[in-house]
Structure 1
Amino acid sequence: MAIRSGCLAAIRPGGGMERRISLRALRAAAIAAVLGFSGAAYAQDDMAPADEQVLRLVTANMPRSLDPTNIDAQRLINNGFAEPLVHQSADGTQLIPALATSWELVEPTLWRVELQPDGFFWSGTPVTAEAVAASLSRHQSDNSRATSVLGGVSFAAVGPTTLEIRTPSEDPAFLYNLTTLPIENVAAIETLGDAYATTGDMSGYFRPVEFVSGELITGVPFDGYHGERPRLERIEARFVVDPQTRYLAMLSGEADMDANVQFEQLRLYLRNDGINIVERARNTWNVWMNYDHPLLADPRMREALSLGVDRDEIVTSIMAPFAVSPTGHFPAGLPYAIDRPQASDASRANAILDEMGWTPGPDGIRVKDGKPLEFGLLTYGWWNTVAVALESQWRQIGVRVNLQVVEPAASNQIMLDGAFDIATYCSCPTATGDLYGTLHQWYHTDSVRNWQSYSSPEVDALLGKLRAETEQERRFDLARQIQDIVMNDTALLYVSNAAMLSIAHAGDVRGVDPERPNDIVPGMYIAAE
């Protein structure tokens, strides 16, 4: 990951910086009148006045609920409304304190976690070990994304701020499973009733003051936060699904942060020296095939589809210069990755489909028993360009795909329900400190996030060994064995290796945390121009 700014200034009517200051000043005056600012804490020498400390985020990932167990409760942690026990570093290999100040594996299956001693929820209720245990237990039972990773785990308060977590078997990297789980005050659910979904009660350094499901959330600093008070006095996050609209909002000064910079817009952003880009670590872009579809359950069909993907075209033309060829589940160069690309060969794909009895029809689409060879292809947002390329490439081997374009948030429930044939869905692997958790999520028979319903007794057994293994080289070897089997089964289609999304900040945004570049953190502020 690197922070870069462009090298060419974009020319725009009226001058971009003057336009930005004018828009910010107008909004700041109105906000100051409503909130009555008394001055920001921890001021930096280059900070703009408190009434200008407003950060406007445009994003394609907006929460539809403030109940953190909801499948569409997105960016609650990223926007500072919620805290997990621990954060994960940008390279995926380290854990960073959040609500937890320290943690220790005191027995092979027992973690002891010390919590912030002065944490509070927005309601003023203290964040105790008992409250955290209740929150994690609710994730275990109600959060569809977490049920398999938390299965068999118990949470117990053994002191006011001391939590013990017992896992059903040895798992030295277990805490990585908690980095995406916001901690909530479960006791508030009974008090708030149906209103809980639109109010919530969490412990983040911002608290919401306006929420429109899936469209808008604004927040101000939470005075009861245990840590540093945010330097920003207000954040405004808006749902903007179109990447070009987000780019134009940044260019005109209507927005200060774009959390979903796609490779198409990255080329434009890098030409503008008034915008800073955080390029995140590369990950593997993969395509899911639903094994519940009778045709996709056949490994020969999956192999034909894989061979029909022209990865060179995707990497060297469509996504250039931001992508390289994929080499299996993990990006090449990692000590636990395999250096084994999936082949692209349309001739072999055609031969396999011929052998399976699929013959080309008058329009080039293959037919068998009077039925065309076609699939639905679920896609959205930053995958659209690649999905269109796949549609064209598969047509060359006689396979028709019908694009089903949805909003990013809508895709979550579709994937969970298994209501897709083929999907370009953002579950793309990158470097990690939790090999077991990552590979289990994708490939274990019982994982709820094994979207394609892949099942291999051999892989399940190796995952069991990986979970308990503590010797590093042995863990790496087990991970490579799993990836080799998955590759042989064509469990997924790997199409490229590139940063899924980059982050753009206006030139006057300071304090971006390099370990949490996707997040709005307390140290961020607007600099004076």
Structure 2
Amino acid sequence: MKKSMTLLSGVLLSSLLFTACSNEGASGSSASSGSESSATGQAASAALTELYKAPDLSKLPAAAQQRTDTIIMALTDPSGAFTPYFHQSGYDGNVSSLLFASLVTTNDKGLPAPNLASSWDISDDQRTYTFHLQKNLTFSDGSPLTADDVAFTWTILHDKAYDGDSLIPALGIEGSQEYHDGKADSISGIKVTDPQTISVTIAKPNATALLTLGSDVLSKAYYGKDYSFGHLDYIKDLHLKPLGNGPYTLEKFLPGQEVRFTANEHYFKGAPKTKNFIYKTSEGDTWQYVETGEIDFAAFSATQENIDKLKSLGFVNILPYTGSTYSYLQPNLEHDALKDKKVRQAITYGLDRQSIYVDANQGAGELANIPAAPISWAYTQDGINPYAYDPEKANQLLDEAGWTAGSDGIRTKDGQKLTIHYLGTKSPQTDVFIAVATENFKAIGVDFQPEVFADFNALVSKVEGGDYDLASFSTPMLTDPSDGLTQFLDGEVKGYNNPEFVKLYNEALATSDIEQRKQIYAKIFKLLNDDLPVIFTNYKKTVYAYNGRIQDLRVSPFNGIAASVPDWNLQK
């Protein structure tokens, strides 16, 4: 399952940390299933609107005081596929985000900004992109990083054996199909001018092409040493031995325990200020690890309960944050019942999302009904169905869809019961969901069968096997509005195929005019709000809690904290 949109797990909201995503199960609090009023919850979550600085660092636990060159962060256990473009989960992406740097990054407004590429030129017809690399770039072993490495990276993503989730192949680089079909030895649309200059010509204008092409760069000498067309399995052997160009290098991966990094002395922006960095697996133990000083950074749902508890520690800074993500329930559209739009709509009407995602989290969330976050320039609520909790409407739709209640109250059709097999990960939020959904679904004649996993990767395997009806997901950071739509286009949401969506999706990418794109995305959002290929649930409000000694931590609505990690340092 090459999902950039992955399931939440534990208490950490790691989708908000870097560019990966996390499980919908995490509230990060000791949230109860009781519900406060929406107004009270919203007021509580709004209580912290700016950075709260630790008032008393003398309370810092000894374990944290003694660290001088190491910062430890909580993370859900990754799978170990640390090669960009080949990740098995978003948590792998969290790891590789410290190991690799991209050609182009984004600023705090979500607009393209230089990184490995110092600048770029775009042709008048918006089809040819020329990247100019920074001088004297190297990989972490000191070997040079040149335009040939960029060309190699783009090329292998068009190999017929590539089955990852990169969007670069979708750009239609000239000659890429011939290469994919084995009719050419190289891709004609990729041209290396000199070691610092490379150009690429795509089939038609695409508003996201610059950032899509400007992704991570793989070493041709390292990752291409054993490459031959049609054979990419060898890269799996390199996943745990990555050669990158980012701020850190991988020192050791201990599955289920931690990922250790050390500073890359060859990093083009200079070695990170803190020599060592550790991701510590902390599912279910995050609060304990923060309180004892075993970790320096974690993210929690922005409930007043969490904020008050964090303030009481005295030694943590607390930073409120709302990212450019959305969460959703993914129905298995390959199952007969869920193929029917009326059934999906009925489930949405019949689920008290307000109680689950807002009230039970003391307002640390907002209901979502479209695949875009409120901070996006394309966000709109015009013409959008809010799907307010309405069991009567749900029952009406199920009646219309031909599902009739049996003697036990469960609806049937053609001899089959209307069953929802739900997959979740162990967490307080999952407990709340199951408690409310059990009652809600019973009221509309749905047989609800929840299954909870302690291990995230085990849950992913279950989803891959197709043995489920609903599973909770959350997106990674969404820079462009199109980022939140790719799952409906590339088969990630299996069974969804709407030609009108594809048409509008392509129209929105064919122009760089923001106002034109806004109008098209408004149509897309309205279409998906009606189709419900997924059931949109919520936007999360988060607080980052971190050791008061950490200096120079910054956060971006579109990039989280990733860009600032190399600048973090521990105040003495």
Fold shared, TM-score > 0.5 on shorter chain = yes
1:188 aligns with 2:233: no
Match of 2:138 in 1: 120
**C-alpha distance in 2 between matches for 1:114 and 1:390:** 53
Paired residue type of 2:571: A
The change in CA–CA distance for 1:332 and 1:132 in structure 2 (over 3 A counts) is: closer
The change in CA–CA distance for 1:270 and 1:157 in structure 2 (over 3 A counts) is: farther
Q: Secondary structure at the match of 2:240?
A: helix
1:217 aligns with 2:252: no
User: 1:49-448 counterparts in 2 under 5 A?
Assistant: 52-68=68-84, 69-72=86-89, 73-78=92-97, 80-90=98-108, 93-107=110-124, 108-141=126-159, 142=162, 144-146=164-166, 150-153=170-173, 154-177=189-212, 181-189=215-223, 195-213=237-255, 215-242=257-284, 245-258=285-298, 260-263=299-302, 266-267=306-307, 268-269=309-310, 272-278=313-319, 279-281=321-323, 283-332=325-374, 335-339=377-381, 340=384, 341-361=386-406, 363-380=408-425, 384-385=430-431, 387-388=433-434, 389-406=436-453, 407-410=455-458, 420-427=468-475, 432=479, 434-439=480-485, 441-444=486-489, 447-448=490-491
CA contact 1:103–1:114 (8 Å) conserved in 2: yes
Q: Secondary structure at the match of 1:202?
A: coil
The change in CA–CA distance for 1:336 and 1:224 in structure 2 (over 3 A counts) is: closer
Q: Give the aligned length.
A: 485
TM-score, normalised on structure 2? 0.76
CA RMSD of aligned residues (A): 3.1
Q: Once the two structures are superposed, what CA deviation does each residue of 1:100-125 show, in whole Å capped at 9, x if it has no partner?
A: 22222124111111222122112322
**C-alpha distance in 2 between matches for 1:334 and 1:86:** 20
**C-alpha distance in 2 between matches for 1:270 and 1:291:** 45
Q: Which runs of 5+ in 2 are unaligned?
A: 1-15, 17-47, 174-188, 227-233
Taking every aligned residue pair, what percent have the same amino acid on both sides?
A: 18
The change in CA–CA distance for 1:199 and 1:334 in structure 2 (over 3 A counts) is: closer
**C-alpha distance in 2 between matches for 1:207 and 1:429:** 23
The change in CA–CA distance for 1:302 and 1:4 in structure 2 (over 3 A counts) is: same
- Alpha-carbon shift at residue 163 of structure 1 (Å): 2.1
The change in CA–CA distance for 1:506 and 1:7 in structure 2 (over 3 A counts) is: closer
**C-alpha distance in 2 between matches for 1:215 and 1:236:** 10
Paired residue type of 1:325: L
Larger RCO (alpha carbons 8 Å, 6+ apart):
2
Q: Once the two structures are superposed, what CA deviation does each residue of 1:33-92 show, in whole Å capped at 9, x if it has no partner?
A: xxxxxxxxxxxxxxxxxxx021011111535123332324331344x211122223455x
The change in CA–CA distance for 1:219 and 1:345 in structure 2 (over 3 A counts) is: same
**C-alpha distance in 2 between matches for 1:121 and 1:214:** 28
Match of 1:486 in 2: 528
Q: Secondary structure at the match of 2:338?
A: coil
Match of 1:47 in 2: none
Moved more, 204-213 or 269-278: 269-278
**C-alpha distance in 1 between matches for 2:463 and 2:511:** 31
CA contact 1:377–1:402 (8 Å) conserved in 2: yes
- Alpha-carbon shift at residue 252 of structure 1 (Å): 1.1
TM-score, normalised on structure 1? 0.82
Q: Secondary structure at the match of 2:288?
A: helix
Paired residue type of 1:424: S
